[in-house]
A and B are shown apart, each in its own frame.
Chain A
Amino acid sequence: MTDNTAVAVPFMEVNPELCKGCQLCIGVCPKSVIAISQKLNSASYHPAYYTGQDCTGCGLCFYACPEPGAIRVIKP
């Protein structure tokens, strides 16, 4: 996990092992900055990931995600 204090711009991150690939976060992201990985995690799901730019830190993906620990969003 990224260190909270070191960030200057908003970002989101997905814990690929906890993600179940449901894609709900992708649908709610106003900036369309989340995508699904080609890789499989150890539970055989294709996890979501942050494409790396333009996240506003709105947190909507966090609330849409059913998994308590899969998404973390930081808005400095």
Chain B
Amino acid sequence: MKVFEKSPSFYQVFERKSGPAKEATHYCPGCGHGNAHKMIAEALEDLELTSKTVFISPVGCSVFAYYYFDCGNIQAAHGRAPAVATGVKRANPDSIVISYQGDGDLAAIGTAETIHAANRGENITVFFVNNAIYGMTGGQMAPTTMIGQRSATTPLGRVAGVHGNPIRMCEMLATLPAPTYIERVCIGDSKQIMKARKAVRKALQIQAEGKGYSFVEIVSPCPTGWKMDPVTARDWMTEEMLKVFPLGVYRDESGNREEGDWHRHYEGFDPAKVNPYLDRLKTSMTESEPVALKQDLNCKFAGFGGQGILTLGLFLSQIGMRAGQQVSWFPAYGPEMRGGTANCSVNLSSRRIGSPLVDEPNVLVVMNQPSLDAFEDSVVDGGTIIIDTTIVEGKPDGKRLNAVMIPATEIADQVGTPKIANVVVLGALAAATDAFTPEFCMETLRSVIKKKSLIEMNMEAFRKGYDFVKNS
């Protein structure tokens, strides 16, 4: 019996995805990313590679590939997936590393990484979804956009003399001596899809055998960006795109390469050899005995950009590290970054930290009004909420929470500059949680503040914040 069904290389339920439809992808109807995902998942399963695969998601519509693949996942900065893949593969030569990228990612902002990873013959597999447009950002011209094709940035159609010609990545990369396998496939009809499945499998097989760099370009539809219905999009792709992007194998050296030839693992990655260099980079932080924490601190600090929210998190992290705790610091740049707000999550724990995110803080610092509205309810019962009353007018629920109201910005201004309100808050935090002595915190600050002329001002700011809470 043969059953065609969802591959076990996919998560059964896409828990990481927001919204109600947790078993459907976020892709538009008829989008080629889904087909590409299915082919990769199937090949990983058949070759029994899923459990040792690290999938690098790009920036683009497939940025959320980590919702779907039940393997290791990393999401890279725009265009940098092959660089991240290089690092992962060299540090873990036995893993299977996939760099999955769109045409904007791979052939525009990431052209350099693409070419150099290929030129080094990294033993990774690149899947290149060429849909001739920037899908995610709303259909702008991509390097692979066709001559005459309309896009948001070429409303009258792409013109060679103005915008350049569509770039053919397979042909370009095939001029390099290092790559092992380069093929261009398409998913326009069943025959093409069957060929594409084979190419995907072969590329992964080559990597698994340590035979070097493999690259599969998948000519793929973006019905939304092209403003076509899914069926018309597949037809247009087959009729028009394949004229410019001919299908075929552009290089296949897999028969001539020895298994294991292209493993790249350098002794330089031996931590014992690297650590001395890192030690030299460390700040001259004063050594100290570990300090026991009464309880884990799960903190969220939130306010406007420019208030030193992220630095506040770094300072607390430094204090925690010096006290011998496990520490994580995680800045969040949500869409609200545009409104100029910033927040960061800091964990201090005596145990290893699983996730750097803090969804339910036991300490919340609020330095602007929107942050009070956004995060107050997330604080655990009995948690501490520290509010800069110079800026925030609202009041938190004083029954449920330990509310610390402090005019931090005003105090900082009196000390010398409103910019060090974050250090006043740090003093208040130390007093309200009793996690560390003020002396210990101030000693740490002394060794981490870079501008020595500002140290005394910071000491005073900290002390004022600390005393304000202790005396009130």
Q: Which residues of A contact B (CB under 8 A)?
A: 4, 15, 17-18, 20-24, 27-28, 42-43, 45, 57, 59-60, 62-76
Within 8 A of A (CB), among B1-55: 1-7, 10, 20-21, 23-25, 27-35, 37-38, 41
Q: Indicate if the CB atoms of A68 and B38 lie closer than 8 Å.
A: yes
Interchain CB contact under 8 A, A45 and B29: yes
B189 within 8 A of A: yes
In this assembly, does B356 line the interface, its C-beta being within 8 Å of a C-beta of chain A?
Answer: no
Report whether B4 and A68 are in contact in the complex, using a CB–CB cutoff of 8 Å. Answer: no
CA distance A72 to B41 in the complex (A): 15
- Among the 9-residue stretches B131-139, B190-198, B243-251, the one with 4 or more Cβ atoms under 8 Å from chain A is B190-198
Q: Please, which residue of chain A has its CB at the minimum distance from the CB of B2? A: A75
Q: Which residues of A contact B6 (CB under 8 A)?
A: 68-69, 72
Q: Which residues of A contact B230 (CB under 8 A)?
A: 22-24
- Could you name 14 residue pairs across A and B whose Cβ atoms are closer than 8 Å? A4-B3, A17-B24, A20-B28, A22-B30, A27-B234, A28-B189, A28-B190, A63-B194, A64-B190, A66-B29, A66-B32, A67-B24, A72-B5, A74-B2
Is B231 part of the contact surface with A, judged by Cβ < 8 Å? yes
Contact of A68 among B10, B28, B234 (CB under 8 A): B10
Q: Take A71-B4, A72-B4 as given contacts and tell me if A66 and B34 are in contact as well, using a CB distance cutoff of 8 Å.
A: yes
CB of A20 within 8 A of CB of B3, answer no
Interface residues of B in 208-248 (CB under 8 A from A): 223, 230-231, 234
| Residue on B nearest A66 in the bound complex, by CB | B34
Q: How distant is the Cα of A63 from the Cα of B40 in the complex, in angstroms?
A: 12
Q: Whole-angstrom distance from the CB of B21 to the nearest CB of chain A?
A: 6
Q: Which residues of B contact A (CB under 8 A)?
A: 1-7, 10, 20-21, 23-25, 27-35, 37-38, 41, 68, 189-190, 193-194, 197, 223, 230-231, 234
Asked if residues B190 and A60 are in contact (CB atoms below 8 Å), the reply is yes
Q: In the complex, which residue of chain B has the Cβ closest to the Cβ of A7?
A: B1
A69, B24: Cβ atoms closer than 8 Å: yes
Give the Cβ gap from B212 to chain A, nearest Cβ, in Å. Answer: 28
Interface pair B3/A73, CB less than 8 Å apart: yes
Interchain CB contact under 8 A, B193 and A64: yes
Q: CA separation between A17 and B223, bound complex, in Å?
A: 21
Q: How far is the CB of B18 from chain A (nearest CB, A)?
A: 14
B10 touches A74 (CB 8 A): no
**Bound form: Cα–Cα A63–B41 in Å:** 12
Most buried by B among A42, A63, A68, A72: A68
Chain B contacts for A45, CB-based, 8 A: 29
B34 close to A68 (CB less than 8 A): yes
Which residues of B sit under 8 angstroms from A28, Cβ to Cβ? Answer: 189-190
- A68–B25 CA distance with the chains assembled, in angstroms: 8
Given contacts A20-B29, A24-B230, contact A68 B37 (CB under 8 A): yes
Smallest beta-carbon distance B114→chain A, Å: 25
Q: Which residues of B are found within 8 Å of A67, using beta-carbon distances?
A: 24-25, 34
Q: Which residues of A contact B24 (CB under 8 A)?
A: 17-18, 20, 43, 67, 69-70
Contacts of B33 in A (CB 8 A): 66
Q: Which residue of the partner chain, among A24, A65, A72, A76, contacts B234 with CB atoms under 8 Å?
A: A24
In the complex, the answer to whether A23 meets B34 with C-beta atoms within 8 Å is no
Decide yes or no: A66 and B7 within 8 Å by CB, A24-B234, A76-B1 being known contacts: no
Q: How far is the CA of A71 from the CA of B7 in the complex (A)?
A: 12
Contact of B1 among A4, A24, A64 (CB under 8 A): A4
- Identify 18 new A-B residue pairs, CB closer than 8 A, beyond the known A17-B23, A67-B24, A68-B38: A23-B230, A24-B30, A28-B189, A42-B20, A42-B21, A63-B197, A66-B25, A66-B35, A66-B38, A67-B25, A68-B25, A68-B68, A69-B6, A71-B4, A72-B4, A75-B1, A75-B2, A76-B1
Contact (Cβ within 8 A) B3 A69: no
